Structure 1
């Protein structure tokens, strides 16, 4: 009996070990990135030894939204099941509903392939755990969504495109939409659990992000073109080890930022082109109480060799920065002549945010005319929220160690405009070799700043 029991235990242990041994065909590459601060190597997936899974072999049919959505979902499931696979979108236009990625999956768009995302909000239900302007909630699924995934990629020379028929109607902010935003703000401020923040109804109209990478790691976006978006275009949230390279984004709708890293770390954005209706690259780290709860800064972000054709700012920091922003390096980027730009670098916060901004380095930037200036720092930016909702808790934002070097532009209103707070001045601003042909107003407009070197 004892021998039988021992044998049974051994068999169970072997079976348990077999069930819990993860086999994968996905290798990991480590990318070394130089920066003026310690920058960890970035780990990204390599699918070169993984199996290709063509969506037409899973029942995809051009023009058939339901068939395509099901085929892509089944191919993603299979790629995940076998420990790593490349879900291939062939040449043609493939209308689809939402796409939910899984670990060890590379969504690959061949040249000439277009994934066209439905404009029907019902195609992005049931609601998922996501965010809206720095507050967690349950809302419509992002068009492409990854939650707690590892080793994921979206690659290829094809295009991702959003049908905008309905979303563009949602760009307006009627009173019912603003009331829903007030409701979400109050829920988040009072610490109501996220699963009770259900924001899908007939009037909230909280538009989904195009791509949200939520609580995920080892991520590669390479080569793709993204056109139009209901909301923010690429949104890494609470994620790490991310490379975005050779990606082209064109989206001119409301809140159409290009990339919004939020509470995310160890990231490279390289050789990308942005043509935006809002900020090109906007670094964020959550809003107020929600971010203080999650307590995760956006950190170690390098941006290199990018081109901006339009956008409110080349680099925006905030205003959702309550988790903190640190170790940011932008190098060798260009804003094309004729771009409608407010600032090259704009740091914005207010008395509700808390958080901090420190150790920002921007070098080797070329631009034409800028509507406002090279650098703006404002500490009282509340937009429509000033009178919409109350301040539940007052926390100021320390801002220090901001370095700009070798910046060239043709026409600006000012070089720098820094509006710090008397209680907490901006510290350590360094401008070196910042040149412009024309200054339309004052060179520097400064309030409450300590240690400025020009």
Structure 2
């Protein structure tokens, strides 16, 4: 039986209240400036090791790099430069602030013409500390793929726990932490540094071997601290940029993130998180913008995304790992963001085995000319997961090459598994094509469930889309309702339909 699923304002207000009440203001706390005299002795000269190509930077479109067999077959050249290393300084200031009850660690800025640059390895945030990067300050993270600068820590990668390179900024069981300021965090990843591991280009190792090993260990429930150790002698697993782990009361505000080796902002098992007015500009493989995993009570607002993958991807663990930990992502508000570039706008999955519920997305602008899907759900019979109570409203779509809303249970493993996903209670309301524009979409809707696990209770209301090339693709849907919907200036009758496995349609009226 179809049931209209309405916006839950009471829950929305409670999420907003809880997050804002738990974010700490550091303005009246002690300041720890890393250029103070007491920290100068911790500055050192180190060798940064980085790789370049014998023929120089790739002159074509980087998307075509994989097809240039001659170029990617050449081995890279190892280079060394001496840099002033501030990693120990930054960590010492954080440790001091934490030991003294809390404080604000300041990374001073220069001028627009001459910004101050600070080379660092991984930074571990601790409770009651704000890392404040001033405008015209840049923290550049060394390209050395070494545990000296990125020590082994307990982390999660593609939904599976492991001991691996530390994320560039990391916390573990911390509370009341912040990363803020108008400065820049530059991961310094490029097609020659960190990225070759994705496919094994330039005779570098291919991450697929270690990736499969990790996933198998996850399926076996192998001990993380004794058996899932991927040190720098073997690891080809690229670390995320920012990963608070089992932490709470987190603010990430105003910063700009560039050139990440992997996902950009990836809180795991965290609560009370606010991400406000950050800019993500990183176009490499798997450069998702914000990926909350098994998190609750979170606000993502006023952000600007230009990414090489999904702008926001909500996750909760992969396969057995996600089911055993059993912590969903829930109570997340996504508002007033601009998705300028990326494959998916707001994606749920595919590492989704712990489930997702109660997501509120509104007043977002999907602007990317490369956007495949503004709203996407990715799961299958191996991931499983219960995905429910998803609200999307008051948003504008410029382009959407494949579909405005896309849900496909046949992703990757498809039907090969014993964990039927549940996807239900989704409302799209007041979604429009940019005025005078054309989204150039193959379909307005692409929704394919399983015969034994149909997609349930979808309401499409006050939706106006122009530039849709083909019909909707619907399979195994138990209740999709259309109210005041127009596609290519043609009004669709208000109705409810069920779609069977063989695409047979049953039509109903709203009561």
Partner Cα separation in structure 2 for residue 344 and residue 110 of structure 1: 33
1:45 equivalent in structure 2: 24
Q: 1:347, 1:377 within 8 Å by CA — same for their partners in 2?
A: yes
- Following TM superposition, by how much is the alpha carbon of 1:218 offset from its aligned partner in structure 2, in angstroms? 0.4
Partner Cα separation in structure 2 for residue 172 and residue 128 of structure 1: 25
Paired residues for 1:326-341 under 5 Å: 326-336=357-367, 339-341=369-371
- Following TM superposition, by how much is the alpha carbon of 1:202 offset from its aligned partner in structure 2, in angstroms? 4.1
Paired residues for 1:194-343 under 5 Å: 194-195=224-225, 196-336=227-367, 339-343=369-373
Q: 2:197, 2:206 within 8 Å by CA — same for their partners in 1?
A: no
1:130 to 2:130 alignment: no
Q: 1:35, 1:329 within 8 Å by CA — same for their partners in 2?
A: no
- Following TM superposition, by how much is the alpha carbon of 1:344 offset from its aligned partner in structure 2, in angstroms? 0.8
Q: 2:44, 2:84 within 8 Å by CA — same for their partners in 1?
A: no
**C-alpha distance 211-36 of structure 1, shift in aligned 2 (>3 A):** closer
**Superposition TM-score, scaled by structure 2 size:** 0.78
Q: Secondary structure of 1:137's match?
A: strand
Q: 2:254, 2:277 within 8 Å by CA — same for their partners in 1?
A: yes
- Following TM superposition, by how much is the alpha carbon of 1:125 offset from its aligned partner in structure 2, in angstroms? 3.5
**C-alpha distance 36-452 of structure 1, shift in aligned 2 (>3 A):** farther
1:423 equivalent in structure 2: 452
Identify which of 84, 87, 100 aligns with 1:82: 100
Structure 2: state its 5+ residue gaps: 1-8, 47-82, 110-115, 483-511
1:400 to 2:424 alignment: yes
Partner Cα separation in structure 2 for residue 357 and residue 169 of structure 1: 34
Of residues 34-43 and 204-213 in structure 1, the stretch that sits farther from structure 2 once superposed is 34-43
Partner Cα separation in structure 2 for residue 172 and residue 203 of structure 1: 16
1:180 to 2:210 alignment: yes
2:196 equivalent in structure 1: 169
Structure 1: state its 5+ residue gaps: 1-32
**C-alpha distance 244-63 of structure 1, shift in aligned 2 (>3 A):** farther
- Following TM superposition, by how much is the alpha carbon of 1:124 offset from its aligned partner in structure 2, in angstroms? 3.9
- What number of residue pairs does the alignment pair up? 414
1:4 equivalent in structure 2: none
Identify which of 406, 410, 417 aligns with 1:376: 406
- Following TM superposition, by how much is the alpha carbon of 1:201 offset from its aligned partner in structure 2, in angstroms? 4.5
Q: Deviations over 1:155-212 (max 9, x none)?
A: 1111111112521222325775212111111111011111110123545410000000
Q: 1:259, 1:280 within 8 Å by CA — same for their partners in 2?
A: yes
Q: 1:44, 1:219 within 8 Å by CA — same for their partners in 2?
A: yes
**C-alpha distance 189-240 of structure 1, shift in aligned 2 (>3 A):** same
**C-alpha distance 277-422 of structure 1, shift in aligned 2 (>3 A):** same
1:6 equivalent in structure 2: none
Q: 1:37, 1:327 within 8 Å by CA — same for their partners in 2?
A: no
Q: 2:43, 2:84 within 8 Å by CA — same for their partners in 1?
A: no
